[in-house]
Chain A
Amino acid sequence: MASAAPYVELHAHSAFSFLDGASTPMELAAAAAKLGYTAFALTDHDGLWGSMEFVQACKGIGAREEVKAITGAELTVRTSAPRAPAEYAHLTLLVEDGIGYRNLCRLLTAAHSHTRDSSQRTAEQPWVTVEQVEEHAGGLVCLSGCAGEGMLAAAWERGGAAGGAATARRLLRAFGRDRFRIELQRPYWRRDRSRNRWLAGLADRLGAPAVATGNVHSHGGKWRAHLQDAFVAVRLRMTLEESEPLRRGNSSSALASPRTMAARFAEHPEAVAETLRVAERLEFDLSRELGYRYPREGEPGVDRKLAELCGTLLAGRYDGSSHRRKAEAGLEKELKTIRALGLSGFFLLHHDLLVLAREVAGEVRGRDSARSILPPGRGRGSSVSSIVCYLTGLSHIDPVANDLNSSRFLNEEVGKQVGATMPDIDLDFPRDIREVLIPRVHERYGADRSALVAAFPTYRPRGAVRDLGKALGLPAHEIERVAGMVGFHERSGEIEKDVVAAIGPERAATSRWQMLLRLCPEAMGLPRHASQHPGGMVISTRPLVDVCPVVPAAMEGRQIVQWDKDSCNDAGFLKIDLLGLGMLSAVERCVEEVGRTRGKPFDLSRIPMDDPETFSSIRAAETTGVFQIESRAQMSMLPRTLPETLDDLTVQVALVRPGPIQGGAVHPYIERLKRRREDPGFEVPYEHPLLEGVLRDTLGTIVFQEQVIEVAIALAGFSAAQADSLRRAMSRKRSAEEMNRHHDHFIAGAEERGVSEDVAEMVWGQIQGFSGFGFPKAHSAAFGLLAYQSAWLRIHRAQEFLCALLNEQPMGFYPPDALVHEAQRRGVRLAGPDANRSRLLCHVERIEGELTVRIGLGYVKGVREEEMESLVAERERSGDYAGIADLASRSGAGRDGLERLAWAGALDNLVGRWASRRSMSPLSSPPPALPGRREALWEAGGAGAGVRHGEDVQMALPLEPPRAPELKPLDEWERTIADYRSIGMTLDEHPMGLMREELDPEVLHSCQLERSENGDVVEVAGMVVARQRPETANGIVFMLLEDERGTVNLVVPPPVYERCRAAVRAAPLVRAKGRLERHEGTTNVIVSAVGELDRPKSRRSPTKPKTERRGGPPTHRPERRGVRERAVAELRAVAPAGHSFGRRR
């Protein structure tokens, strides 16, 4: 070990100081090891967010040599009086022992406790008082703070040397002579030497040692130092120029070697030597036991209680079932493993939570709701394979009937390993239930004993371009243009091409844009701020604030621990995932709506599981809006795999994942499936006979996550524990070296079992390829069932299902506009928003005897939700609105809200009806023959409106508005644009339909493609519904276009993409030319050219009058070409952005 290192770093910031640190904890650990540091302290601002990751990294994962990790934080202390303007200073606190760790956690929790007090709940500066520091000084070593804002140095800089000395004496009293140090830093600022001489003199006078620290902000490299500068500007919302006095001023905060650091403090050798003495006394190891226990852990009699509970439930569930004996054997085996691992309390706690969830579901759904018979949530993940989970309601899939193996979820050998983590039980809930359940868990277990897990959004290209572009002072419009282009891919190296495509090569070559291109890759993957995990919760028997700092979340009533799920796992915390699943919410909404519209409760559990019509639609890839199998990739696969059963869907759901795709499983699986369909006697080829047993169900390919474990055991003789370690290494980001170790064991083990090296390497390649991401079979079974249920609802309850999807947005692959058009093509009727018919959400009603989806007022963009709620409530209380004036006077809607409703067409039916509501007398004058949105706007303008005073609204007087003069009705283009602008969709003619007769005749309809020959060169045009650039597709971009008849799949090869980036990336309307390719039921256009559809036609075309539109006014097509081009340009501006999916780093 590098015992000669003369210096230990006791003050360093990682990117978890959020925009005041430019390296990950792992980068710091690795660089420290490389430079020969024997110990190193991570002291992020007011948090331990990255501390566990740092400790793990220092233990050798990623670092070359083991470095002693010191846990600490730089704490902000408020130095001004309570009512005086806020002034802050910093202290560096390092943990000496368990008491110190608890005190640091409590101080950090206290520092954040008031950070969300404002009504907006925006994050404010955390701080504690000196008194709080004094109360929690035990077990902590206190360094007096940094050169710029340290408690002493800042006082000295402001000319308050006496005050600084008094503070030092106070801290000395609190921490004692052996745990207080005067901190010297050398940031190469102008007054370094003077300041350090004063501090060293003060240390002498007080008899407290001085200690040198580096205040590290990056692990090295010029560009990380520059990134640190830019981060400061981002944090302060300034440009680099503006932030000059507040930046560090030079790159000396990059990590330097111990010798370099010792040389920097040549005037203070004792302060350098003191770093080693301090490090030596800091024995606390965060990776050791923190004293965490979860409720019911080790409770007396838990084994018996769980066995009794499961026994009773089994008798009920399997009463008369042919699976009963197998279920009993499975339960016995599982209970034995659970007892051996001491996990009975773990399952009982989950059961308790489910009981709580049931209570919450009852409240949320209401007793009379059609949803009331549904379980509160569903299991996902590997836990679905467990019979204990099934019996206790934590899973809805019968593992016996579905032949699911729980060894991946529960394994005695794996569970007894050192550092083994708790099994994962993930529960999906409808969003509304989850929203209530999370605060209820806080109530049940105590606000100090439960919290959500943190998540850290990291820099990706779009955010990096926006943040760093502003810091560099680049023009806002250019930044936005570029950000719009980089949105859906995640490879930083391609940003330069995007910049060139967006703003041209000349601008891209300017120094600031070039700097942006250098900084963006450096920023990728660094955390930007802390957020909350979607549903991961930690529950503890002792106050959580003693084991990890807890901070308020942005959402009221929620709080988060400062660690993400990996760190919580490393700490041995029990993490319970209460996830919100949009499709589950949609299905529940649909069930409720079916019960309401059709007049009797609808039981989803009674639908047939082999409905021919449902499977037929799945095989034909008519799956828009269906859970998991609606993506383009799934749609192209379905006509080839031709699922016929739920088991087939289980494989289908798992197949189109990065794991099987990168592992090379997809094409062999489909090919073998086809061969077997043609020839039932077809023999599946296996890479080696040893694999036959474990890969039989998936035709010799690795599709499910647990098959990786099974293959490693079968082919290379891995123990269950080794195989699980391999699985975990595959799923964690900090694991490249671990994977290398597993590779060596795998090859050696396989050779010992008589497998040739070539075959072993080939299978390893499949395993490694699988590392991307894959589902366990149990999880796929759970998702496959939901996929089937949603497909069934789409076919048999089409209106209610569409309505539910619209109400649960955002979710899924398609924007609402595309969902609506697809449903309309299937004959589903829709009606626009109407102030006298719509509710806040969409609903289904009968119009002329037909079930029709009515768009809710909540879809009108920009209206206040509470205004629309009160509008609907007043209507339901006192009857329909008699006119716009009546609406304005009764509902309290403001002028802006009324205008937006008018633009959306929601007031069309009230135009001209200005009679008094009370008398309901005949209309005082006849309405215009064809009232429309312009009249509605006119009347809304004259009707008065509610005026908001804080929470209260002053109602308008019910005065009759002046009658509108004769106004030119909106033509269909104007109406379409108004629709998109106001509700984000159009229910009337598709824009491509409006454009069609002016398009060149060679541009085909989507449905005409079916009549074209394979290999024909075709031209198509449409709105972009989705763009995908999967990591696994070698740079190919898939686009889905929609026209008035259907959709078209475009495949954009990399050279075309490079040539036409701007159109492929950002254009909402495109025209493409390419070769038609038809293969096994799917039709694609392999694009050779694609461009923005900015003008319908290159030559003038004759116009002809259109037919009258649904009782509306005659259409007025713009006659002049310029008018039409402007209309298309306007449409481009308001058309819904297609969904983009693609690469992640």
Chain B
Amino acid sequence: MTPGLRRLYVPRRATVETGPGGEPSAVDGVAVEAVREEWVAEDRWWTPHPLGRHYFELVLADGRNTVVFRGIVSKRWYQQRG
């Protein structure tokens, strides 16, 4: 990263609980009310840093809309501004 520059919308780790189909049921302890969208991004596979993410756009029980994704390789959950 060039000095002086700052990455925007950096994903941050999230604690996500999932249901039997693998869909999120709670994010950081807040229950998921609805899954609005679900999509997959797989790109840059030709570079040393391939990208593979399974995204969910969620409506949480506290009324917030949020986007989380699971790294397809890392299997870790992250939250990101949608």
Contact = CB atoms under 8 A, between A and B. Distances in A.
A512 B40 contact: no
A511 B46 contact: yes
A190 B39 contact: yes
A512 B36 CA distance: 37
Interface in A963-1013: none
Interface stretch (A129-137, A244-252, A417-425): A244-252
Given A190-B55, A193-B36, A250 B41 contact: yes
A193 B48 contact: no
10 contacts: A188-B39, A190-B57, A191-B37, A192-B37, A249-B43, A250-B39, A250-B40, A472-B46, A511-B48, A515-B45
A512 B35 CA distance: 37
Given A240-B46, A515-B46, A252 B40 contact: yes
Given A511-B47, A511-B48, A194 B41 contact: no
A464 to B, nearest CB: 15
Contact of A249 (B35, B42, B46, B57): B42
B40 A193 contact: no
Contacts of A515: 45-46
A252 B39 CA distance: 10
- Which among B37, B38, B45, B57 has the highest number of chain A CB atoms within 10 Å? B45
Nearest to B54: A188
A192 B35 CA distance: 12
A521 to B, nearest CB: 16
A1075 interface: no
A189 B39 contact: yes
A674 interface: no
A169 interface: no
Interface string B16-35: 00000000000000000001
Interface of B: 35-43, 45-48, 55, 57
Nearest to A263: B21
Nearest to A519: B46
Contacts of A191: 37
A1124 interface: no
A280 to B, nearest CB: 30
Contacts, number: 42
Interface string A361-383: 00000000000000000000000
A189 B40 CA distance: 7
A226 interface: yes
B47 A192 contact: no
Contacts of B36: 193-194
Nearest to B45: A226
Interface in A24-76: none
B18 to A, nearest CB: 16
B45 A249 contact: no
Interface string A188-202: 111111100000000
B41 A249 contact: yes
Interface residues of A, number: 20
A244 B37 contact: no
A251 B39 contact: no
B46 A251 contact: no
A133 B71 CA distance: 44
A244 B46 CA distance: 13
A512 B47 CA distance: 7
Interface in A236-262: 240, 244, 247, 249-252
Contacts of B47: 511-512
B57 to A, nearest CB: 8
A512 B38 contact: no
B42 A190 contact: no
Contacts of A240: 46
B74 to A, nearest CB: 17
A591 B11 CA distance: 79
Contacts of B35: 193
Contacts of B40: 188, 249-250, 252
A1016 B6 CA distance: 72
A193 B46 contact: no
B42 A194 contact: no
Contacts of B55: 190
A23 to B, nearest CB: 18
B79 to A, nearest CB: 16
A515 B55 CA distance: 26
B37 A251 contact: no
B46 A188 contact: no
A489 B55 CA distance: 45
A251 B42 contact: yes
A229 B42 CA distance: 10
A215 to B, nearest CB: 14
A229 B41 CA distance: 13
B47 to A, nearest CB: 6
Contacts of B38: 188, 192-193
Contacts of A249: 40-43
Given A511-B47, A511-B48, A193 B37 contact: yes
- Which among A192, A250, A252, A512 has the highest number of chain B CB atoms within 10 Å? A250
Interface string A441-458: 000000000000000000
Contacts of A251: 42
- 6 nearest interchain CB pairs? A188-B40, A250-B40, A250-B42, A515-B46, A190-B39, A511-B48
A538 B4 CA distance: 69
A470 to B, nearest CB: 13
B41 to A, nearest CB: 6
Nearest to A516: B46
A1057 to B, nearest CB: 30
Given A240-B46, A250-B42, 15 more contacts: A188-B40, A189-B39, A190-B39, A190-B55, A192-B38, A193-B38, A249-B40, A249-B42, A249-B43, A250-B39, A250-B40, A472-B46, A512-B47, A515-B45, A515-B46
